[in-house]
């Protein structure tokens, strides 16, 4: 649509405020960055009962909210509203382009649409869902990919997977990297802050950190096996801290910890607030990310920004994110994972090199850059 003034709808119906994980971080940072860089186009954010008035739109004339009395907690109701009511709201508000950042968009809409598909987890890790959830998501993902005017995704790895899975034309899909939240980029580490967060979470010694919900594809089970090897073979003193919401694998992982006799050495903190995360990253000796599948990998940027050496799976998008600023390992090999962690723990000079590389690497990922690239796609749709 060239350089003309656009009324852009942003579909936020998928979000429960405070419970959205990476998708919530994406949406909020994107809106915040668009507010900084774009004072021309008009943006109408379609909100729900769970997130209304939480986007800090301020007094800007070109960002407004349109409330819908539906809850994302009730998935069926949300899907029905998104597919049957949202299209009429788009027409009513004279929207020129609809941007849907939550993987799925309304299939029948009167204007061009851009779907942001972060990954295709329902097709890769079906164990995460019930049968009805899986069936519904596969249908919605498929028809979103087929009917959206344009697709944006988070990495070249995801771009290739989406293109191949749905037989999408290469010129229909664009990979745009995410940014690192300013709270991590501007964080100034201090002994006092590290001590505070360790005391709050009950961490009593040096530790290796992993931030991830306990879902199967996050590969925490193999991380526990690698950590057991580090304790048994290499006699490391550090404990392992796993920070994230309990997921489908949580009970299995607790049983595994007990079986490996690591009850005193492994801690599951549960949810950690954004106010405490920077200090937690900074206090860790190493950040390890063993995931088998990711669309991007935001925790890597956060850890590098906070000055923590990273050891990361070589799967899917993760090598794109870390570049040469971390140590890569095969996530299916616990020995290789343990070796990568150990080689950093014993070498202070290597740690310092990785910290410096990480801080330089993360400068390449800003939300303003992400927003600018998305705005280009809007202008060309």
Where in the chain are all domains bearing CATH 3.40.50.2000? 7-179+366-380, 182-362
With residue 156 as reference, give the H or E element that holds it: helix 156-166
- Measured over the CA atoms of residue 308, residue 159, residue 31 and residue 82, the dihedral's sign is negative
* Average pLDDT of every residue of the chain: 95
Strand partners, 267: 241
Quick: pLDDT tens for 52-73: 999 988 766 799 999 999 999 9
Predicted confidence (pLDDT) per residue in 306-349, tens digit: 999 999 999 999 999 999 999 999 999 999 999 999 999 999 99
Please tell me the class of the 7-179+366-380 domain.
alpha beta
CA pair distance 224, 232, nearest whole angstrom: 12
**Cβ atoms within 10 Å, residue 23:** 16
Q: Quick one: angle between helices 21-37 and 367-380, nearest 10? A: 80
User: Percentage of residues in the chain with pLDDT exceeding 90?
Assistant: 89
Burial 112-141 (b: 16+ CB within 10 A, else e): bbbbbbbbbbbbebeebbeeeebebbeebb
Distance separating alpha carbons of residues 224 and 227, to the nearest angstrom: 5
The pLDDT confidence band at residue 1, using thresholds 50, 70 and 90, is: low
Exposed, middle or buried by CB within 10 Å (0-12, 13-18, 19+), for 217? buried
In CATH terms, the fold of domain 182-362 is Rossmann fold (3.40.50)
């Amino acid at each position: 649509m060239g350089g003309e003034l656009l009324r852009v709808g942003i579909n936020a119906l998928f979000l429960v405020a405070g419970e959205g994980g990476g998708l919530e971080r994406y949406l909020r940072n994107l809106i915040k960055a668009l507010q900084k860089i774009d004072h021309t186009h008009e943006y109408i954010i379609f909100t729900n009962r769970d997130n209304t008035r939480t986007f800090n739109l301020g007094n800007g004339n070109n960002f407004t909210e349109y409330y819908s009395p539906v809850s994302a907690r009730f998935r069926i109701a949300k899907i029905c509203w998104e597919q049957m009511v949202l299209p009429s709201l788009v027409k009513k508000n004279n929207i020129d382009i609809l941007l849907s950042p939550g993987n799925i968009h309304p299939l029948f809409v009167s204007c061009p649409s851009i779907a942001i598909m972060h990954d295709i987890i329902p097709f890769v890790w079906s164990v995460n869902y019930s049968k009805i959830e899986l069936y519904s998501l596969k249908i919605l993902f498929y028809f979103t990919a087929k009917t959206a005017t344009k697709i944006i995704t988070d990495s070249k790895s995801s771009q290739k997977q989406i293109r191949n899975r749905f037989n999408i034309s290469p010129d229909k899909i664009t990979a745009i990297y995410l940014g690192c939240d300013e709270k991590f980029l501007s964080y100034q580490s201090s002994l006092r802050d590290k001590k505070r967060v360790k005391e709050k979470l009950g961490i009593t010694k040096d530790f290796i950190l992993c931030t991830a919900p306990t879902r199967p594809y996050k590969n925490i089970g193999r991380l526990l096996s690698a950590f057991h090897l580090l304790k048994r073979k290499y006699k490391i003193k550090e404990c392992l801290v796993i920070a994230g919401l309990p997921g489908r694998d949580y009970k299995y992982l607790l049983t595994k910890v007990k079986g490996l006799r690591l009850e005193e050495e492994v801690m599951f903190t549960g949810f950690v607030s954004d106010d405490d995360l920077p200090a937690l990253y900074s206090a860790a000796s190493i950040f390890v990310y063993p995931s088998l599948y990711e669309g991007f990998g935001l925790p890597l940027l956060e850890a590098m920004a906070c000055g923590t050496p990273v050891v990361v799976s070589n799967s899917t998008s993760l090598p794109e994110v870390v570049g040469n600023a971390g140590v890569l390992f095969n996530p299916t090999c616990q020995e290789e994972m343990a070796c990568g962690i150990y080689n950093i723990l014993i070498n202070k000079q290597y740690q310092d090199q990785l910290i410096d590389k990480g801080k330089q690497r993360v400068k390449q990922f800003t939300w303003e850059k992400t927003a600018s690239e998305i705005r280009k796609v809007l202008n060309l749709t």
